[in-house]
Amino acid sequence: MEKQFLEMIAMHKGTIHKVSRLYRDSPEDRERLFQEIVLQLWQSFPKFRGMSKQSTWIYRIALNTAMACYRKKRIILSFTERLPDKEDNSIDCENREREEQLFMILKKLNEAERALLALYFEDFDYREIAEITGLSENLVAVKMGRIRSRLKKIINPTK
């Protein structure tokens, strides 16, 4: 069982890192959340029966863990992956500026909205998002529409 678990973590560590970055700002806090998610996965692993995709199950536990930790401590969103160093510093600066703009916009959303967007950005469809979050597919669609409207108002408040 331990070998299967370690293989699963190795295969999906990128997912866990993304959720950690979504809900934590500092590298230390991200690492703590990453470890907490892995612990929760380990404790839940014996109960996983394969009724859903492994990635769906991992996202569900990761998001639930991150949101539970949110209630204990303020969480700041950092949505995009750290950009690798590039030889062309002007491109790197441009990307970091765009990353910071995205960061500031998404920071204005609540935790549930961030979670839905994180799943959407990971190319999960509404049905899969509903399965992960426990919401109905219709409610996911409604919430995504509201998030889009809210983002439009944040980006262009004069309209």
pLDDT digits (tens, 9 = 90+) for 19-29: 888 888 788 88
pTM value > 0.75 = no
Residue 13, pLDDT score: 92
Query: Residue 12's closest CA among 120, 45, 29, 25?
Result: 45
Residue 16, pLDDT score: 92
Residue 109, pLDDT score: 83
Strands annotated E in 60-158 = none
1-76, what's its fold?
Rna Polymerase Sigma Factor; Chain: A (1.10.1740)
| Domain residue extents for the chain | 1-76
CA torsion, ordered 108, 145, 68, 34, to nearest 10 deg:
-80
In tens digits, the chain (159 residues) has pLDDT values of 889 899 999 999 998 998 888 888 788 888 999 999 999 999 989 888 888 888 889 988 998 888 776 544 433 333 334 334 444 455 556 666 776 677 677 778 888 888 888 888 777 889 989 988 889 999 999 999 999 888 888 888 876
